[in-house]
Amino acid sequence: MTYEEALDNVYGRLVFGIKPGLERIGALLERLGSPQKQLKFVHVAGTNGKGTCSTLTASALRECGLKVGLYTSPYVLEFRERFQINGEMIPKEELIQEVETLAPVADQFEKEGDQVTEFEYITALALHWFARRQCDIVVLEVGMGGRFDATNVIDVPEVAAIMSISLDHTAILGDTLTKIAYEKAGILKEGGRLVLYPQQAPEVREELEDICKERHVELLVPDLSQVKELDRSIDGTTFQAGDLKLRTPFLGEHQVKNALTALEVLRVLQKRGWPVTEEGIRRGFEGAFMPARMEVISQKPLCLLDGGHNPGCALALREALEQFVPQRKVAIMGMMSDKDSRETLRILGPLFSQVVAVAPEGLRALPAQQLAEVAREFCPKVIPAGSCREALALAVRAMGDDGALIVCGSFYLAGEIREMLLDKFGTR
């Protein structure tokens, strides 16, 4: 099997869509020897901030000398990003081996009249690989929701984290914050431990507190009064948490809260006997990297790439742009059709002198013309483009000598355009 054939085998499962429930993933893993039973976990759910918390936690644990698996979604540049050990993506040869092991088992399910979904398949692949490589601990990011997410097949984790909760995937998770909080809280298991992002809507906090009491889950909420921001710039944020001075390369006030949540997760692990040190936390936080999360591609001219795809992300981006980007801003925007493009544009559109609308690759992409129609309500000048390359040419022309380029709206767009941005702005 070649690498391309292995990817085709994975993507072929996509047609089975989303089918909530843990029976299939449980049965699939049982046939693989129940690899999840051989591993210890940090389990991270939430609407926004999951990726940051997971990345910071994994980076710090690695700097503390542990062998750390990291499972995230979605990927930005390459599928293999979703599976990492100590910051290294799964090698192509090992991905092929995992698919060769997993495919016959999944195919047998199909013969028996049931289909394994793509997310179940890659979650099983990740858990099997982490167990085979004998990871000390795995940071496991929930795909969507929590209660019926395939990652919830694990037993009680060392610690769970629930990040900022806002309205997203409402057709599946529910149309109120309380309903969504209930779904996210599905990862909370009897007798476990939860670190909760410190700024939640009152109804979210109340729902999660009630569930923690019911399931005898220890609830820890980072204390924002103990945090002092020391410096923030377009390159990152330095803050003091108690006696600990930390820096992260991530931009925006919300990233301090994300980092504080990761810090609390690490302190819980330390209390449970894991070899977590302050120096490891410092090095891990400073060295963490995630592409397309308010990533500064270039300083002169300023080019910022952000893959955030819901209104919560849009608010965070707006705050960063208002604070750090005083110059005239031109946007390239692309979104998926199942995202709230109107609300995202209501938040961001007025900041831009011009929006170039483009459809990212993929069946769910919102056509450029449709996105442009929505954008015209909120931005003075909007142009649809037929491709990312055309969008980039139009945007560069509109920027002139004094503008900044903001590329936003979708991780799919970010993955497609990032190489072009790096080539154009010469930061290699």
Comparing CA positions, the residue from 146, 147, 144, 103 lying closest to residue 122 is 103
pTM: 0.86
Check whether 282 has a pLDDT greater than 70: yes
Q: Where are the domains of the chain?
A: 3-287, 295-425
Comparing CA positions, the residue from 407, 253, 224 lying closest to residue 333 is 407
Check whether 172 has a pLDDT greater than 70: no
**Interatomic CA distance for residues 99 and 87, integer angstroms:** 21
The arithmetic mean of pLDDT across residues 67-79, rounded, is 91
Considering the four listed CATH numbers 3.30.230.30, 3.30.70.2190, 3.90.190.20, 3.40.50.150, the one that applies to the domain covering 295-425 is 3.90.190.20
Query: H helices of 32-161, where?
Result: 50-63, 92-111, 118-132
CA angle 316, 297, 257 (to 5 degrees): 30
Indicate the CATH number for domain 3-287: 3.40.1190.10
Is-contact 219 209, C-beta < 8 A?
Answer: yes
Check whether 19 has a pLDDT greater than 90: no
Minimum mean pLDDT range among 84-93, 232-241, 373-382 = 232-241
pLDDT computed for residue 171 by the predictor: 44
pLDDT computed for residue 17 by the predictor: 55
